[in-house]
Amino acid sequence: MRFQSLQPLPRRRSRRRPSLLAVLTALALALPLTVQAVVPQAQAAPSAVTLVGSLQSELGCAEDWDPACAATAMTDPDSDGLYTMTVLVPAGSWEIKVALDGGWAVSYGADGVQDGANIPLRLAADAELTLSWDVESHRLAVRSSALSGDYDPASDAALVADPAREGTDETFYFVLTDRFANGDPSNDSGGLVGGPEVTGLDPTDKGYYHGGDIAGIIENLDYIQSLGTTAIWLTPSFTNRPVQGTGDNASAGYHGYWITDFTSIDPHLGGNESLAALRDALHARGMRLYLDIITNHTADLIDYAEGQYSYVDTATVPYTDAAGQVVDISAAAGSADFPRLDPATSFPYTPVRTGDVVPDVLNDVSLYHNRGDSTWTGESVTMGDFVGLDDLMTEDPRVVAAFEDIYTAWMDFGVDGFRIDTVKHVNMEFWESWTATIDAHAAATNPDFFTFGEVYDADARKLSPYVRSTGMDATLDFAFQSAAVSFARGYSAQGLSGMFATDDYYTTPTTSAAGLPTFLGNHDMGRVGYLLAGGAVGPETLRRDALAHSLMFLTRGQPVVYYGDEQGFVGVGDGSDKNARQDVFATQVAEYAEQPLVDGTTAGSTDRYDTSSPLYQHISGLAALRAAHPALSTGSQIELYAEDGAGVYAFARVDRHEKVEHLVALNNADEERTVTLTTLTPGATYSSLYGDHAPVTADAQGEVTLTVPALGAVVLVADRTVAAGSPSVTLTGVEGAALSGASAEVAATTTPHRWAETSFSYRELGTQEWTALGTAEDTTPRVFADVSGLPAGTVLELRAVTTDAAGNRAADSALAVVGANLSGTAPDPDASVEVTVPGSHNAAMGCPGDWQPDCAAAALSLDPATGLYTGSFDLPAGTYEYKVAIGGSWEVNYGADGVADGPNITYTTAGGTVTFFYDPVTHLVWNDAGSAGPSAEPSATAAPSATAGATGTPTAAPSASAGPSAEPSATAGATGSPTGVPTAGATAAPSASADPGATGVPTAAATATVVVSVRPGSVSASSGPGATRGGLARTGPGTALLLVVAASLVAGGTIALRRRA
C-alpha cells in the first residue's frame, strides 16, 4: 500500500459502492434493463456501541467480551455517526471488535465485516488511544496522542543517518579470460595431451578454448586501465572439466562454469601463480580484482543409474532419510539436525559418481539434489540440475560449511570481491548463513570487500530481497539493463522513470541502489550492440550504443563494461551465449572474423586493442568525467523530467558534501528536443561539462530550458549550492493503516524542488528504541519496512526526519498497525492495475522492462459498450509475444485461445498503433496487428493449464526482438480464474475467541427491485476482468449473467432481482 495523506478521525461521508456502480453501468449499457429503485431509509442509530474484546477487564469491565459493559461504551456526542472513546490501553496483546445494542446480535470485526474476525491489537507499552467506529463503514479506527511532534534535536538527531554507500565506487571491466589475450601459448592445452576432445583447445571453434589467459590480461593492463577501469571482474577461473558432451553436443569449459576443483585456477588460464601475479599488478595500480564464483553446482560428474534425467518433484517422490522416513529438506534447511540421506534409497534417481571434485567433501553424492534437470519452475528452480550440471544440496549445513571454507580461503588469497553466479537457484537459507560468514571474514581482513549476486530478473522487487535479507552487498542490476537498452532503442523515457522509482526497494540503513553494478549486456544475453537492433549495424546503431553507455556512466550505480563492447563487437547468430564471446586477439573463428562491428565495418582476424576506436574514446571520456565529479559517481539522483514517449530523460546528481547540482539530460529521439524543467537551484547559472550546451540560467522558480541533441546527452553544473529554506516533511497515508510483510511501503512528501535527505525509522508505540529503515535521497522519499517478524496488531509509530542543504530539519510521525487496517477507511479498489498485456512489447509501451504484469503503462480499460477491455499503444516494428494478466501479477493470466496459464501469443507489426482486446468472459485476448481474434467460442480445452506454477525464469527479455519469451507460458503464475463477481460482504464468521453468543446473522439491508428484460443474442460486460468462464455466453439468453450478478448483490443485501417473462 502507498500512504496517501494523514487524516484526522474519519467523519461521516457519502457511501461509495464503486464495484457495484461499475457492474450496473456495464449491465445497463449491455442489456436492456428496467430498473426500479427503492430509496433506502436512513439506518437507525444503534442504542449502544461497545468496544468488546480481551482487554475489557483491564479497562474496568467485570469480564472480557461483554457487549453490555458501560466502561467500554463508545459515544457520538455530535450525532454524526462516528462513535469514539479515549482510553489508556495497557501493554499486551489483545483482540477487539465492536458490538451494537448491548448484545451479540450485531457485531463488526476486521475490515468492518459483520461478525468478522477479531481485530488484533498489540502494545509494547501502555498508551493512550482514541478509537472510533463509523456507523456507515462499520470500520474501527485508532489514533494516539502519544506520537512525537515536530523536530526535537534532543530525540530526533539520533535518527538522522547518512545514506548508505557500499563498495568503493568501481568501474568494472568484465572479461572472459579465454577470449581476451593469449599471453602464454604454453598453457593453451591446460597441460593435457591429445586432441580437442581431451584438451578442450580448438581456436577455430567458438565452443572451445582459444588460448586466452591471465598473462594476456596482465600484458594489456594499460589498455584496460586507460578505458577508465578501476576493477577487473574475471569469468569463473577455477579448474574446469575440459570437455563435456559428445558429438555435436560436445564443447569445452572455456567459460569457467564446469568446476571440478574450487581450490585451484584452471591450468588453461595459467594456474594460481598467474592469478597471484594479476592480483599484485592490479593492486600496484590501485585497481581491484573480482572473481566470479559458483555455489549452485559442479561440473556434470554424477550420472543416474536409471538413465533418465527428467525432473521428479518432491510431491511425486519425496526425500527419505537413511532410515526410510520422509523428510522435508526445505523445512530443515540450515538446521544442525539436517537429515542424513542414503544414495541408494533417498532420491528419485540413484546417483553414480563419474568423476571427482575438490574439495573431497563434495564427492559425497548425497550432498546433491539428484532430482533431474530443472524445468525452471517451482521447486526445480533451486533443486533441479542446471542443464545436467550437478545441483548441490545447499540446504545441507555441510555444503554451506564447505563453501564458507572455500571462499574465505580465496579472500585470504587477496581478491577484492565476488560476483556470485545463479543466486536465485540457491535456497535463501544458504545465502543468509554464507554471506554472514563472508561479511564477518571481510570485517576482519578487508572491510572494503564487496559481493554482488546474479539474480536474472528485471524487477527490483525480486532482486532486492537478496540485498535486504542477506549480507550480499548488491545484485547485478538487470532492471537497469532492461530499461537502459529499451531507452537506447528509442522507447519511452517513462520506462526509465518507472525503473528508477523502484530503487527505493534497495534502501536500508546499509544498502542502496547506488552500489548496484549496472550493465548493458553480457556473455549470456548478448552484447548491447546486438540487443539495440537485433544485429543490424551502422551509424545509428553506433550512436545508440554510445547513448546507452552515456546513460550507464551518468546514472547511479557502478558501471560494468563487457569486454569488446569498447571495440564495437556486436555478435553473430542469435547474438547470445557463445555468439557474444568473441576474441579480442586475432580470431581463428570464421564467424567472428566475418561479423560486422557496430559501425558496419567488418571485424576481421586481427588484434583489437584500438584505443582510438569510437566507443573506446566515448567510454573512456565518460569514465574520466565520472571520476572527476563525485556527484556523477556517488551522488544522489533526483528525476526532473521524463518524456511520455521517445525524447528527454533528465535528472540532477548532487554530491552530499559539495551540494552542487549537476544537471544531466539524455535524448533517445532521432531529432533534438527542447524541454523546460524545474531544477534544484533557483537563480543558478549552469555551464556545460559534457555535450557543449550553452550556459543557461534558472529563473526564480528554478526553471531552465535545455536543448538536447538527437541520440545525445548533456551535463551542466550549477555555479552555486542547491537551494535550502524551510524544510517540511509529511508522512503520506492514512493514520492507522496496515503494514505487512517484508517490504511494507513507508513514504513521505518534502518541500518540492529542494534537495533533502530523509531518514525513516519506526518504534513500537510508547517505547524508546527506534528501528532505522534507511535514508532516502530524492524529492519523493520512500523506504520499505520489514515488519514480517512483528506480531499482527502491533501498533507502530513511524518517524521521518528530513534535512535540507543548510542542515535545517523537520520531522513527522504517523501511526501504523502491523497486519490490521485500523485507519477507519477501506483501501481504494481503483488503486491497482486490473488488466494488463505483459509481454516482450512492454518496454516499448513505457514499462521499466518486458513481461511486467503490474505495469500501468500496459493496462487495458473496460469499454462498457462492448464489455471488452481495450488499449491502444504506439509500437515500433517487430515481432512480439504477450499474454493478458489480471490483478497486476502472474497469479491469474491467459494466453492463446483464452487458456489459463496458456502459451504466449505472437504477433508482428510494421510499426504504429496496435489495439489490444480482452474478453473477460471467454478470456480470449487479441489485437488488430495480426494475433488471432475470437472466431468462435473457445473450446472446452480452455481450462487452467497443468503447467502453472511459480516463475523460475527472468521477467524481462533483453529486447523486443523476436525470440523466446522471458516469461514462458509454462512458468506463469498460479492457476485458475477468480470468482465471477465479488460477494458484497465477507463471509467470515466471528472468531472462536468471540463471545459464543455471537449469532452471525447479518443486519437487514435496504433493497431495490431490478426488472431485467433479456433479448437473445445480446452481449454484456462481465462482472470483472477475471470472471469465471461460463458466467455469460457471448450468445444466448444471458440467464447465467443474471444469476452470477444476482447471487453477488443479493448476498450483500443490496438488490433483489426478478426476471421478466
User: Mind listing the domains of the chain with CATH numbers?
Assistant: 38-139 (2.60.40.10), 172-299+417-624 (3.20.20.80), 300-393 (no CATH), 629-721 (2.60.40.1180), 726-818 (2.60.40.10), 835-971 (2.60.40.10)
Amino acid at 736: G
What is the number of other CB atoms lying within 10 angstroms of the CB of residue 72?
A: 24
Q: What is the mean predicted confidence (pLDDT) over 460-464?
A: 95
Q: What is the mean predicted confidence (pLDDT) over 1010-1028?
A: 35
pLDDT tier for residue 981 given thresholds of 50, 70 and 90 = very low
pLDDT in tens, 632-686: 999 999 999 999 999 999 999 999 999 999 999 999 999 999 999 999 999 999 9
The predicted structure's pLDDT at residue 45: 87
- Measured distance CA(434)–CA(438) in Å, rounded: 6
pLDDT of 832 over the 70 cut: no
The predicted structure's pLDDT at residue 968: 30
Question: Quick one: DSSP state of residue 857?
Answer: G
The predicted structure's pLDDT at residue 829: 61
- Measured distance CA(668)–CA(709) in Å, rounded: 9
Q: What is the mean predicted confidence (pLDDT) over 928-955?
A: 41
Residue 31 CB contacts under 8 Å (≥ 6 apart), including other chains: 1012, 1013, 1014, 1015, 1018, 1020, 1038, 1041
Question: Quick one: DSSP state of residue 1003?
Answer: P
Whether 543 contacts 503, CB under 8 Å: no
Of the listed ranges 188-202, 629-643, 812-826, 958-972, the least confidently predicted one is 958-972
pLDDT tier for residue 439 given thresholds of 50, 70 and 90 = very high
pLDDT in tens, 106-164: 999 999 999 999 999 999 999 999 999 999 999 999 999 999 999 999 999 999 999 99
Q: What is the pTM of this model?
A: 0.85
The predicted structure's pLDDT at residue 167: 87
List Cα–Cα distances, 437 to 163, 328, 442, 465, in angstroms: 25, 25, 9, 18
Of the listed ranges 120-134, 171-185, 264-278, 929-943, the least confidently predicted one is 929-943
pLDDT of 1012 over the 80 cut: no
The predicted structure's pLDDT at residue 1024: 43
Q: What is the mean predicted confidence (pLDDT) over 317-330?
A: 98
Q: What is the mean predicted confidence (pLDDT) over 866-884?
A: 95
- Across the strands, what pairs with 675? 706
The predicted structure's pLDDT at residue 725: 80
Q: Give me the chain's average pLDDT, please.
A: 86
- Tally of CA atoms within 13 A in the half-sphere of 954 that contains its CB: 27
Whether 130 contacts 84, CB under 8 Å: yes
The predicted structure's pLDDT at residue 873: 95
261 φ/ψ angles, rounded to the nearest 5 degrees: -140, 110
Q: Which of 606, 595, 534 is nearest to 568 (CA)?
A: 595
239 φ/ψ angles, rounded to the nearest 5 degrees: -60, 130
pLDDT of 337 over the 50 cut: yes
What is the number of other CB atoms lying within 10 angstroms of the CB of residue 493?
A: 25
Higher-pLDDT residue of 21 and 541 is 541
- Measured distance CA(550)–CA(560) in Å, rounded: 12
Active-site amino acid positions: 421, 454
Q: Is 503 helix (H, G, I), strand (E, B) or coil?
A: helix
- Burial of residue 958 (CB within 10 Å: 0-12, 13-18, 19+) is buried
- Across the strands, what pairs with 121? 94
pLDDT of 963 over the 50 cut: no
List Cα–Cα distances, 438 to 222, 358, 407, 443, 740, in angstroms: 32, 20, 8, 9, 30
pLDDT in tens, 756-791: 999 999 999 999 999 999 999 999 999 999 999 999
pLDDT of 953 over the 90 cut: no
The predicted structure's pLDDT at residue 726: 87
- Measured distance CA(1045)–CA(23) in Å, rounded: 8
pLDDT in tens, 160-169: 999 999 988 9
What is the number of other CB atoms lying within 10 angstroms of the CB of residue 768?
A: 8
Q: What is the mean predicted confidence (pLDDT) over 587-597?
A: 97
C-alpha cell at 689: 561539462
pLDDT of 951 over the 80 cut: no
pLDDT of 982 over the 80 cut: no
Long-range contacts of 255-260 (CB under 8 A, 24+ apart): 255/176, 255/178, 255/523, 255/581, 256/177, 256/292, 257/294, 257/389, 257/421, 258/298, 258/299, 258/300, 258/389, 259/294, 259/298, 259/299, 259/357, 260/298, 260/299, 260/301, 260/355, 260/356, 260/357, 260/358
Percent of the chain past pLDDT 90, that is, above it, reads 81
C-alpha cell at 159: 535518527
Higher-pLDDT residue of 927 and 997 is 927
Whether 52 contacts 119, CB under 8 Å: no
Q: Residue-wise over 443-458: b if at least 16 C-beta within 10 A, else e?
A: eeeeeebbbbbbbbbb
pLDDT in tens, 398-414: 999 999 999 999 999 99
pLDDT of 25 over the 70 cut: no
pLDDT of 594 over the 80 cut: yes
The predicted structure's pLDDT at residue 874: 93
Element (H, E) at 708: strand 703-708
pLDDT of 178 over the 60 cut: yes
Percentages helix, strand, coil for the chain (3-state, rounded to 5) are 20, 25, 50
The predicted structure's pLDDT at residue 960: 31
The predicted structure's pLDDT at residue 826: 87
The predicted structure's pLDDT at residue 733: 87
The predicted structure's pLDDT at residue 827: 77
Of 32-41, 683-692, 830-839, which has the strongest mean pLDDT?
683-692
pLDDT tier for residue 1026 given thresholds of 50, 70 and 90 = very low
pLDDT of 623 over the 70 cut: yes
Element (H, E) at 593: helix 590-594
